[in-house]
Amino acid sequence: MIIRQVSLVITINDGLKGKPLLKSQVKIMVDGQRYNCIYKQGGMFVFVDLSDKEHIIELYGNGYQNEKIKVITAKDKCIELMQYFQPSDDYKFSNAVTKIVVDVGTMVDKDVVRKLYTIDNSDKSIIKLAQDDVNEQTQSLRVFSPKKLTALAVPSLFYIEDGLLSEMINIVEVIDEQTVKLENPVHSEHKRGTKIYSVKQYTITQEGKAFVSVANFESIKLLKICGRNYSIIEPEINKNKFNKIDWKD
Q: What is the pLDDT of residues 7-62, one digit of tens each?
A: 999 999 999 988 999 999 999 999 999 999 999 999 999 999 999 999 999 999 99
* Mean pLDDT of the 100-115 span: 83
Q: What is the pLDDT of residues 146-199, one digit of tens each?
A: 787 877 777 889 999 999 999 999 998 899 889 999 999 999 999 999 999 999
pLDDT above 70: residue 2: no
Rg of the chain over CA atoms, in angstroms? 19
Question: Which domains does the chain possess?
Answer: 6-85 (2.60.40.1120), 93-249 (no CATH)
pLDDT of residue 61: 94
